[in-house]
Structure 1
Amino acid sequence: MKLADVLDQNQYRLVQGTLDTEISAGVTADTRNVERGSLFVAVAGHRRDGHTMLHEAFEKGAVAALVTDPESAAPAGMTVVEVPDTLAAVSFTAARLQGEPGRSMKVVSITGTNGKTSIAAILESILGHLSPAPVGVIGTGGPRIDQTPLPLKVSTPTTPLANELQAILRAMADRHTETVVMEASSLALVEHRVDHAFTDIGVFTNLSHDHLDDHGSMEAYRQAKMLLFSGLSGQAVANADDPVTAEIHTLMPGRVTTFGIEQDADYRAVDVRVSTAGTAFTLLHQGQRHEAGFPVPGLFAASNALAAIVVCRLLGYELEDVLPALKAVGQIPGRMQTLSLADGTTVVVDYAHSPDSLEKVLDTLRGLTANGRLITVFGCGGDRDPAKRAPMGAIAGRLSDHVVITSDNPRIEDPESILDAIEAGLGPTGTSYDRITDRREAIARALSVARPGDTVLIAGKGSEDHQIIGDRKIPFQDIAVVRQLAEIVTH
């Protein structure tokens, strides 16, 4: 495709070269991925500025470059075009070079602090029951079609970089995928990764303390989430129990369908009953009452189920078909994933890694552990928002009978300093606790002190299959460690 066609209908200025330059190998902002015929986009990264790498990109085969600084030194044989925002340019050029695949599918993008992965998995299961057409998922568990992983490069978790995302969407469209369910992280929205995914339905789950290391303040974090509803989505599905939804109504008047438990909503769950078998509730919609159930316990689980129900309705499915499919959803890996041990202990593995999510999970398990103790194993990520560590320690201490604090991807930060910060919140609660840096040893300790009837929550990593220590990714999965250490009765 000629560069003129790639840039068509977007603002740009030719600095040198010709717009007839043929782009034959895709777009990238990483010189390591440049191929002969590539379009290189100069993005100012955390460590290096792409504007200083134009010669390197050219030597590796890039035939053109997009820049924001027209004075950047570029080789004479390279076509250079100035654009207002190179991050945004990666998105629209990648989409154009892939033939804008999002247009041919129904795209559902989910944003919010908690619930993205769970709602995506619920939708994947329900739609798999209701339609013979392939269902695509893009998120924390990696891209997949009908639960089969796509062997495509993803260099960042949750929401891939724009060029990777467009390649995934292209692969899904080529396999006749009808609906794509995508997690849209706040950072991805700020970096324009989903700008040209052509989202039909944007879903908002909730907003609570998290990712302040990326955004600096809760206000900036909120604004990042709202980008999905500022021209990127055709319709919105929003949580009426979160005050942020009022802003979504303002941004998308007449195009918002709400769900909720505490507040009145288009789809509301009342008479919520939580048990070890899951969550049952009465769904109120347009004056009608429908009995519904979902095999995951907790008010938050009911909220996630409601969001999935509304999306399915907007996709054209009837409640009498959706609700039975909801009951048939299986356990979601790393999301309230439950194992029953031979000694009578229940182990729950969950991704809860923010103060709000940890509190909700512990509240739920506290209510389900009437005849036993609740033991919590958790840590906090290194090089990530340190302000949440003490609050999470306080929450764990207040709601648990015993706590084991440990490592959770310490990265290049000193693991002991992370535990010090957690301990500052945990200690004053008076709850007994162990401090064990090695996560495997911490899990083993929790299992060893547990008695029949106790529940052990292992929080923070969910289905992650590695531990990041220093600059190394070491294979590690909480659920696998539990299975290695204990005799399992049921899943």
Structure 2
Amino acid sequence: MKWKKLIRNISELNNPFFPDKKEIKGITDNSREVGEGYVFVAVEGFSVDGHDYIKEAVEKGAAVVIGQQSINKINRPYIKVENSRKILGQLAASFYGYPSKNKVVIGVTGTNRKTTTGLFLRHLLKRKGYSVSFFGTVFNEINGEETKSQTTTPSSLMIQKSLAESDDQVAVIEVSSQGLSQYRMEGMSFDYALFTNLQHDHLDYHQSMEDYFQAKKELFSLLKVSGTAVVNEVDEWGRRLSKLLREEDKRVITVGEDDQNVVYHMKNNGHGVCVMENNTYEIELPLPGKYNLANLALGLTVLNDMQHDLSGISNIMRGIGPLPGRFETYDLSNKVYGIVDYAHTTEALQALFTTIRESHGDYRIIHIFGFRGQRDSTKRDKMVDISRSYCDETILTLDDLNGVSVDIMKAEYEKQQQRYSEATIKVILDRTRAIEKTVNTASQKTLIVVSGKGHENYQQAFELSSTSDKETFELLSIKTANI
């Protein structure tokens, strides 16, 4: 692609001293990937600064270098920009031909439930005959091939390249607040943008709930002219978002339990009702709980807006199978079950245990979870409070340490024991042994809930050979189960 064509929509890169016919063969922010004719974009990372690798990029044949620092003279054209992350996204979109314009693109954002909502949508769309690309926390899928994902929201380069290579009709993308604030969606355009909720989380990154909200709201600025916002008004943030988007003349469909455009309510723990455009749909939920009815309602709203018949929806959803790390259940022995769930915020834990108590009020509940190092510590007390409110026993164990020492985390757990009786809060640092010991000593009618990691692999080695909560339960269980 010629330089002139590459930058035709990027005014910040217009430079009269650049030869318009310079041939550009690739875009990258990784000096190891640079080849002859590439544009190298130097990005200031959290642990590595791309500006330190400009010399290496030039030696490998970079045709143009872009960064946001003042650089001494180098033997290549250099353009200083205000924000190189943002420019990287714009360049990637241009280089790959703005592929999101040629597909139905659906973005899902929110603190919790992005993955479940996205996977519900993926399943619904496939059953309606669409080929679907998916980008999310658990995996990515393009042209029917799944690969393990590294981040919830792909880099701007990866998403643009992947969409350009995809022959799929629809793309469903989990969009995180970090991804938005880091311009990973720059150059994208969406047909639908979905909002699940906003709750206390990631304040180690965003500093305040207002900053967090504004980061999420950025997704809706990327809607196509004909695009639609689908907002769950489950909380004040959803209601505020709807109001602001309408003031911006965006098309908004609201979802909720009151007087929204689409209304849902539970009949019992496994069944719900969704009402839209005077049609009432009885739904057998693939996962229990009102929050999963809300997830499904968001997906059904999109399909209804795409003019699809929603009759027989329970049969369609029955074939979805277990979702990785989302209320995955294991039969351990006679009326003893293990549950693996990704819940890692106070609100997600409360929703999880409310659902469990409503359906299994006569069961003993043992909760195993831990704190993540270098993460928002302001929610830790409340997470323990919720565990103690709903569970008969709480066991604190190691989650990802992220550079924090075991001794420091152990001290954190001992503080929690001091807040409560040691009889109700135990500390077993090895996560696999915590699960094993609980399984081996559990009696009839017990639910062992392990939360926080869900589908994720362990980041450090534990005593058992398993690499995830799922594998640990599989070592100890008879079979997967529905409860």
TM-score of the superposed pair, with normalisation by structure 2: 0.92
Q: Is the 8 A contact 1:272 1:299 kept in 2?
A: no
The percentage of counterpart residues that share the same residue type is 28
| Residues in 1 aligned to 2:2 and 2:404: alpha-carbon distance in whole angstroms | 46
Partner residue, 2:262: 267
Q: Is the 8 A contact 1:15 1:81 kept in 2?
A: no
**C-alpha distance after superposition, 1:88-116 (max 9, x if no partner):** 11111111111222111111100000000
Change beyond 3 A, Cα 1:204–1:61: same
Partner residue, 1:185: 176
2:45 is paired with a residue whose SS is coil
2:238 to 242, 245, 252: 245
Change beyond 3 A, Cα 1:441–1:194: same
- State how 1:280-359 maps to structure 2 within 5 Å: 280-320=271-311, 322-359=313-350
Partner residue, 1:22: 23
- Which stretch has the larger CA shift, 297-306 or 47-56? 47-56
Q: How far is the alpha carbon of 1:419 from its aligned partner?
A: 4.3
Change beyond 3 A, Cα 1:198–1:454: same
Q: How far is the alpha carbon of 1:322 from its aligned partner?
A: 4.4
| Residues in 2 aligned to 1:340 and 1:51: alpha-carbon distance in whole angstroms | 53
Change beyond 3 A, Cα 1:216–1:469: farther
Change beyond 3 A, Cα 1:353–1:382: same
| Residues in 1 aligned to 2:210 and 2:416: alpha-carbon distance in whole angstroms | 25
Q: How far is the alpha carbon of 1:11 from its aligned partner?
A: 1.9
Question: Does 2:253 align with 1:257?
Answer: yes
Q: How far is the alpha carbon of 1:55 from its aligned partner?
A: 1.6
Q: Is the 8 A contact 1:461 1:478 kept in 2?
A: yes
Residue identity matched to 2:448: V
| Residues in 2 aligned to 1:480 and 1:147: alpha-carbon distance in whole angstroms | 26
**C-alpha distance after superposition, 1:459-487 (max 9, x if no partner):** 011111332579xxx97111111111233
Partner residue, 1:466: 458
| Residues in 1 aligned to 2:481 and 2:386: alpha-carbon distance in whole angstroms | 29
Q: How far is the alpha carbon of 1:49 from its aligned partner?
A: 3.1
Residue identity matched to 2:236: P
1:282 is paired with a residue whose SS is strand
| Residues in 1 aligned to 2:28 and 2:404: alpha-carbon distance in whole angstroms | 30
1:98 to 78, 96, 105: 96
What root-mean-square deviation, in Å, do the aligned CA atoms of Structure 1 and Structure 2 show?
2.3
Question: Does 2:426 align with 1:434?
Answer: yes
Residue identity matched to 2:262: Y
Q: Is the 8 A contact 2:197 2:232 kept in 1?
A: yes
Partner residue, 1:73: 72
Partner residue, 1:224: 215
| Residues in 2 aligned to 1:112 and 1:450: alpha-carbon distance in whole angstroms | 36
Residue identity matched to 1:116: K
Q: Is the 8 A contact 1:465 1:475 kept in 2?
A: no
| Residues in 2 aligned to 1:88 and 1:489: alpha-carbon distance in whole angstroms | 45
Segments of structure 1 that go 5 or more residues without pairing to the other structure are: none
- Paired residues in the alignment total 473
Change beyond 3 A, Cα 1:366–1:265: same
Partner residue, 2:469: 478
Partner residue, 2:164: 170
Change beyond 3 A, Cα 1:288–1:27: same
Change beyond 3 A, Cα 1:84–1:7: farther
TM-score of the superposed pair, with normalisation by structure 1: 0.90
1:14 is paired with a residue whose SS is coil
Q: Is the 8 A contact 2:4 2:21 kept in 1?
A: yes
Change beyond 3 A, Cα 1:271–1:139: closer
Q: How far is the alpha carbon of 1:449 from its aligned partner?
A: 2.8
| Residues in 1 aligned to 2:15 and 2:159: alpha-carbon distance in whole angstroms | 27
- State how 1:337-416 maps to structure 2 within 5 Å: 337-416=328-407
- State how 1:138-217 maps to structure 2 within 5 Å: 138-145=135-142, 148-150=145-147, 156-172=150-166, 176-217=167-208
1:122 to 107, 120, 123: 120
Partner residue, 2:42: 42
- Which stretch has the larger CA shift, 321-330 or 387-396? 321-330
Q: How far is the alpha carbon of 1:162 from its aligned partner?
A: 0.7
Residue identity matched to 2:264: A
Q: Is the 8 A contact 1:88 1:192 kept in 2?
A: yes
Q: How far is the alpha carbon of 1:121 from its aligned partner?
A: 1.0
Change beyond 3 A, Cα 1:466–1:63: farther
| Residues in 2 aligned to 1:389 and 1:417: alpha-carbon distance in whole angstroms | 14
| Residues in 2 aligned to 1:405 and 1:296: alpha-carbon distance in whole angstroms | 26
2:229 to 226, 236, 243: 236
1:466 is paired with a residue whose SS is coil
